[in-house]
Each structure stands twice: as structure tokens, then as C-alpha cells.
Amino acid sequence: FEVQGQVVNETPTAMTRVTVVVTTYNAAGQVTGFRQARLPDDLPPGGRLPFALSLIPQEAQPVEYTVVAEGRPLQP
């Protein structure tokens, strides 16, 4: 299972240590897998970083997934 997308920094502050977490779910809403990855670059205000995460869910093809991204403000 692969999820691709972009992380967008909508804040006025550059971000560092940007991490993306993908969680997959079955039809009952139970977690069937997750994957976490840190993006290699800092993210300037208004910037975009692409990502692609592959994971193997513990069950058949997931029916739903979520993507969460977070980072820390870059100190000047």
C-alpha cells in the first residue's frame, strides 16, 4: 500500500524535522498498519515537500487511511 502527497507549510515560520505518519484502517475502523518517516529537508513558509510512504497492512487492502504531518519551528 502506498500513499503519496505533499506537506504544505501554511505558517509564517520555517519548519524543521518534518514527520509524516500514515495510518491504515479496516472496515471496522481498527488500525491495520502505520508508517512514519521524517522528510529530509526543512520546509520554508508557504513551501511544499513531496512524500511517498509504502507500508504493508496486517490485513487485506485498507478501506481508509489518515495522513498527519508535524514539524518544529526552525530556530534562526
The ranges assigned to domains in the chain are 2-73
Residue-level pLDDT at 60: 82
Judge: domain 2-73, CATH 1.10.3470: no
CB count, 10 Å around CB of 1? 15
Q: Can you tell me the distance from the alpha carbon of 3 to that of 65, in angstroms, rounded to the nearest whole number?
A: 9
DSSP string, 32-56: EEEEEEE-SS-B-TT-EEEEEEE--
Q: What is the pLDDT of residue 57?
A: 86
What local confidence, expressed as pLDDT, does residue 76 receive? 73
Residue ranges of the chain whose pLDDT lies below 50: none
Please give the grid coordinates belonging to residue 54: 509504502
